Amino acid sequence: MAIATRSVTEACESAKAAAHALATADTGTKNRALGRLAELLEARVDEVLDANAADLADERAAGLSEALRDRLALDSKRVREMAAGVRAIAELPDPIGEELERRTLESGLDLRKVRVPLGVIAVIYEARPNVTVDCAALCLKSGNAIVLRGSSYAERSNAALAALVREAVVETGLPEGSVELLSGDRSELEQLATADGLVELVIPRGGEGLKQALKSVATVPVLYAAGGNCHVYVHSDADLEMARRIAYNAKVDRPGVCNAAETLLVNADVANEFLPGVLADLAAAGVELVGDERVRGAAGAVAMGEASDADWDTEYHGLKMAVGVLDSLPEAIEHVNRHTTGHTEAIVTGSEDVAAEFTEAVDAAVVFVNASTRFTDGFVFGMGAEIGNSTQKLHARGPIGLRELTTTKYIVHGDGQVRG
Amino acid sequence: MAIATRSVTEACESAKAAAHALATADTGTKNRALGRLAELLEARVDEVLDANAADLADERAAGLSEALRDRLALDSKRVREMAAGVRAIAELPDPIGEELERRTLESGLDLRKVRVPLGVIAVIYEARPNVTVDCAALCLKSGNAIVLRGSSYAERSNAALAALVREAVVETGLPEGSVELLSGDRSELEQLATADGLVELVIPRGGEGLKQALKSVATVPVLYAAGGNCHVYVHSDADLEMARRIAYNAKVDRPGVCNAAETLLVNADVANEFLPGVLADLAAAGVELVGDERVRGAAGAVAMGEASDADWDTEYHGLKMAVGVLDSLPEAIEHVNRHTTGHTEAIVTGSEDVAAEFTEAVDAAVVFVNASTRFTDGFVFGMGAEIGNSTQKLHARGPIGLRELTTTKYIVHGDGQVRG
């Protein structure tokens, strides 16, 4: 069941042929394949860990930062978590065949709009082997074939995991080509992104470099996720204790991820009352703080740097936060809309009207009222899992789950209708 | 209320500023603007017809084909039809604010997924002045600002119509920038298609040349509509009288449009019985027929040419049809999927199982059973109107109506929830 080296076109053609069978596979068959995959992950954990150990021992891996090595490293607990994730995806409702609209047209035609799979989805990702399994499972459940293009750092781990997925798929009677794995040189990215007629969608899971590389060449649709320059705005009527907890959590809980907050905005009416406490909390957690003049005036004993223009547009990916004071709700909305990446924004307010004005006017995929930005996540949102996150407005906005991996088809039944 | 010459950037910025106000405009206000537009079209028909006469009298228009002059020409009946179309759009349900999902998350968060406008939509179109009004009305109703980029052949007609739209919008208290009109040189296309951050979506309504020009430069999302290489497949168990009516209608009713059929496929079991009659009908209507050897053998007295390989991929835009005989349903499905542009396909069959197999396996936006391909149309589908048609799989597939001009936003209310 080893995966031979093959060209991008061969892999995509194999996936496309498989996609036809997957599109009409029933829910039970797809779920059996997922169940078998979970079993294989548990039964063959040693194979996976051996491959992973070889990736980690490779001289190339020596150059990775500790954070990247941690993402690459697997242990039996992580493999069991993958299996649990696959079982959770099996439990989710099948989006395929869902009837979105139905009506009888004037001519008597019976029109239905139903969900169907996209076809072949390509996922390009960094050295995180669990992505191999998560994305393959989401695509299988949504009736799509997947072409995985992993990092060469994780080559052996990905191959071991993809081999288990293919084994589970074939044992269930689905085509092996449902899951294809590539890990060649960088030219593969361009080939995938221009495979019109074979690949329906490219999902990049990686940094700005990957996105820019795709933007300049892609002719196949790509779902991009901008980073998250997320704001927490504390209005004058906020419960300030609640605001303090939310601002702290949004920044400190997991500062490296895209739903962490980068900027704290505070209404001038409560700045003097609110800021000293929250800034002290943040500083105590090791957060480097920069602010405008008014913030620094209200900061009390907390040490603060001066915010530059660039700070308001920076996703720090770490323990740093920009803090600003604004005179009104419209000013806060304007600041957020000027600097947002469209990922996640939050307001803390005691007023439903203020909340409504903010949520209507702020142009982002997710807007929270009185909650931390950290909740933006497909699993938390009840979508079971996510294959990525979209900050685009077209097709999918926010976490990309099973439904977002589908398209629709109008199926219209008549009894001989002609037009005109 | 004349529209001064302005740059693409000025027009897009004006539209973007207007889009913020439009996004929160209530349904009543939007409908009043549409109602006022319909009144103005009726009251000021002479202004519109004068402008149109000047376009038609322009020396450039002398070079247009009769079909293109007919599309450019307005009369009072056509203007009244525009007004009626605008009133019909006012009658449609407002898609904005529609709640698509709502659930309480484990943490107690109240999650809602609601429809919101995209922002600024650019429509690039040929010399059909009615598109100015149709598209502006659809965008207004869906809370989007629009930048119209019409043909220079229709410059005066478009300006007169856009001025009426702007007058109606301003009288209703909405921003004038809700509707912007450009008609400069071809460099505007590239500027619109790369106006990231200002324009959210480009909809080209034109031929292959326009689409290719956009494909090579666009960084803003574009909704492309491929042409319609539509097939009618007559299965062995079809009601052959019904099949004859459907094949005839699909080809002859309006052969220049994209939902007209280009290819007729017939199951071998009924070829000898079915073909002579339908081919005689088509020939009598002036349809040039080309076919494979088996078709020509069954054609009887009807004169037929030989189909080349290219014929199976050609959208004739006129009275010509390719005819083929196939041995089985899977062969028919394979032929259709190899040659379809993904627009519309049809089968004539007496069996529900055969219909299900065909509709599941054929990869197109719309699949008809026992009805003519000619019914693919936003108005016919009960969407009120359409701004175009998408043969893409992402975002919108099929007619593009009000809902397809929206995106979504998650609005999540909490009472202080933090994560972790």
* DSSP letters for A124-150: EE-S-THHHHHHHHHHHHTT-EEEEE-
**A288 vs A120: CA distance, rounded Å:** 44
**B381 vs B223: CA distance, rounded Å:** 19
Our CA angle for B145, B146, B151, nearest 5°, is 170
Which residues of chain A neighbour B215 with C-beta distances below 8 Å? 219
For the residues A178-195, what does the mean pLDDT come to? 90
For the residues B133-151, what does the mean pLDDT come to? 96
pLDDT band for A2, please (50, 70, 90 cuts): very low
* DSSP letters for B50-113: HHHHHHHHSGGGGGS-HHHHHHH---HHHHHHHHHHHHHHHHSPP-TT-EEEEEE-TTS-EEEE
User: Of A411, A220, A37, A74, which is closest to residue B371 (Cα–Cα)?
Assistant: A411
Asked if residues A405 and A92 have their Cβ atoms less than 8 Å apart, the reply is: no
3-class SS of residue A269: helix
Q: Which residues fall within 8 angstroms of residue B150, CB to CB, at 6 or more apart?
A: B125, B127, B129, B131, B132, B158, B181, B182, B183
Asked if residues B141 and B94 have their Cβ atoms less than 8 Å apart, the reply is: yes
> In the CATH hierarchy, which fold is given to the domain comprising B230-375?
Aldehyde Dehydrogenase; Chain A, domain 2 (3.40.309)
For the residues B232-246, what does the mean pLDDT come to? 98
Of B366, B374, B412, the CB nearest to A371: B412
Interface list for A 172-231 with B (CB within 8 A): 200-201, 215, 219, 221
Nearest residue of chain B to residue A374 (CA atoms): B419
How many percent of chain B have pLDDT more than 70?
Answer: 99
pLDDT tens sequence across A105-149: 999 999 999 999 999 999 999 889 999 999 999 999 999 999 999
pLDDT tens sequence across B53-66: 999 999 988 888 88
How would you classify the pairing of strands B305-306 and B288-291?
A: parallel
- H runs (alpha helix) in A24-119: 27-43, 45-57, 66-72, 76-91
**In this structure, what token pair is assigned to residue A282?**
């943040």
Rounded to the nearest integer, the mean pLDDT of chain B is 94
Query: Does the interface predicted TM-score (ipTM) exceed 0.90?
Result: yes
Residue A404 corresponds to which amino acid? E
What is the pLDDT at residue A287? 97
pLDDT band for B67, please (50, 70, 90 cuts): confident
What superfamily does domain B8-224+396-413 belong to in CATH? Aldehyde Dehydrogenase; Chain A, domain 1 (3.40.605.10)
What is the pLDDT at residue A1? 38
For the residues A255-260, what does the mean pLDDT come to? 93
pLDDT tens sequence across B372-387: 999 999 989 988 778 8
Residue B301 to chain A, least CA–CA distance (Å) = 26
Asked if residues A131 and A385 have their Cβ atoms less than 8 Å apart, the reply is: no
Helix (H) and strand (E) counts in chain A: 14, 16
User: Of A241, A306, A252, which is closest to residue A277 (Cα–Cα)?
Assistant: A241
Which residues of chain B neighbour A380 with C-beta distances below 8 Å? 105-107, 419
Of A246, A407, A410, the CB nearest to B393: A407
**B36 vs B233: CA distance, rounded Å:** 47
Interface list for B 114-143 with A (CB within 8 A): 118-119
Our CA angle for B86, B91, B96, nearest 5°, is 100
Secondary structure element (H or E) that encloses residue A398, with its range = strand A398-400
Asked if residues A397 and B411 have their Cβ atoms less than 8 Å apart, the reply is: no
3-class SS of residue A122: strand
Of B355, B360, B412, the CB nearest to A368: B412
Q: Is B242 on the interface with A (CB under 8 A)?
A: yes
Size of interface A-B (CB pairs under 8 A): 198
pLDDT tens sequence across A225-247: 778 999 999 999 999 999 999 99
pLDDT(A337) > 90: yes
Q: Rounding to the nearest 10 degrees, give the CA dihedral for residues A396, A402, A407, A411.
A: -140
pLDDT(B6) > 90: no
Interface list for B 247-286 with A (CB within 8 A): 248-250, 253-254
pLDDT tens sequence across A344-357: 999 999 999 999 99
Q: Domain residue spans in chain B? A: 8-224+396-413, 230-375
pLDDT band for A5, please (50, 70, 90 cuts): low
**B168 vs B363: CA distance, rounded Å:** 43
B59-67's contacts with Cβ under 8 Å and 24+ in sequence apart are B60/B152, B60/B153, B61/B153, B64/B127, B64/B153, B67/B256
A284: number of Cβ within 10 Å: 11
**B31 vs B65: CA distance, rounded Å:** 38
Indicate the pTM of the whole model.
0.92
* DSSP letters for A402-419: TGGGEEEEEEEEEEEE--
Q: E strands, B228-313, where? A: 230-234, 261-267, 288-291, 305-306
Candidates B410, B413, B415: best to mutate against A (most CBs of A within 10 A) is: B410
Asked if residues A355 and A347 have their Cβ atoms less than 8 Å apart, the reply is: yes
Q: What are the distances in angstroms from CA A22 to CA A145, A213, B330, B345? A: 7, 31, 16, 21
**Which region among A77-91, A331-345, B372-386 has the lowest average model confidence (pLDDT)?**
B372-386
For the residues B81-102, what does the mean pLDDT come to? 95
**A235 vs B384: CA distance, rounded Å:** 42
pLDDT band for B5, please (50, 70, 90 cuts): low
Q: Is B411 on the interface with A (CB under 8 A)?
A: yes
**A92 vs B122: CA distance, rounded Å:** 38
Q: Is B380 on the interface with A (CB under 8 A)?
A: yes
**In this structure, what token pair is assigned to residue B285?**
């209507």
**B383 vs B395: CA distance, rounded Å:** 16
